Amino acid sequence: MAETVALIGAGIMGQAIATRLLSCGHALAVFDIDKDKVAALVQKGAKAASSPAAAAREADYVILSLNHADIVSKAVFGGDGIASVATPAKLLIDMSSIDPAATAEMAARLKSQTGMAWVDCPLSGGVPGALAGKLTIMAGGEAADFERARAVMKDLAANYTLMGGSGAGQTTKLVNQLFCALAFQAVAEAVKLAEAGGVDPASIPAALAGGRADGRIMQEFMAKFAARDFAPTGSLGNMLKDLDSIQAFALKTKTPLPLTSAVTDLHRILIAMGLGSKDNAEVMRLLDGQ
């Protein structure tokens, strides 16, 4: 069954989410401050909206795909924000990756002020997963709202799991990003080690398939890193944002994360080099001495 959906945020992931929803027949209204990004989706069948409120006014489901908690807060509670047109019949689905505590606070505020429920649904799988409807989505919220969101999530996710109350999805995403950041660094170092030993690093994934070192990041990215293929599949800046969230959460909960701290510092160096908008494969530059 096709649903009426609003999408706030038409960046790299927002574009992929929107494209998938449109291909599945959903009616879609889109808002982004970048009008060119909205125009690209209008060409695919979306309707342009002048504000978050305008996008959400006729929608049953409102999806957020934004970068930071403060941007999410502005989209929901700011002038012409979603809260101004919110009703208990609408459901907010936040697919951003933001702070768990901020998520829980905003969800409670929206519910108490308007009756509109909030499900945090951060994702893993990137653009390819979104376009294929095979994302992994870790959710936080009430069970009934989690099930309501399934009307849209069924077209986006192959793995859709309720992890707990509000913010639990965001906490699970932090765990996911910890694994990803450390795995990208491990792949980069493995490439250098293989090269130093005269072994073609692109042959490593097939050789190690099925063993304990096997994993999707190695299989999908080792050849890319080895080729110094810097075509964008994700940005170092976004990874550092998530690493900063992990570090802040670890500080708050007094959780020791020594390896994550080291990888966070390496990302800070890459950002200082002006590579924040570049692909994760750019971690090779440090190891290459560039």
Which residues share a beta bridge with 123?
A: 137
What's the CA gap between 260 and 257, in Å, rounded? 5
Q: Any idea which residues carry the catalytic annotation?
A: 173
Distance CA 281, CA 232 (A): 9
Per the document, the length of the chain is: 290
In sequence order, what DSSP letters do the residues of 94-149 get, joined into one string? E-S---HHHHHHHHHHHHHHH--EEEE--EESHHHHHHHT-EEEEEES-HHHHHHH
| Closest residue by Cα to residue 72 from 39, 110, 41 | 110
Residue pair 177/242 in contact (Cβ under 8 Å)? The answer is: yes
Helix (H, G, I), strand (E, B) or coil at 279: strand
User: Residue 3: CA atoms inside 13 Å, Cβ hemisphere, count?
Assistant: 22
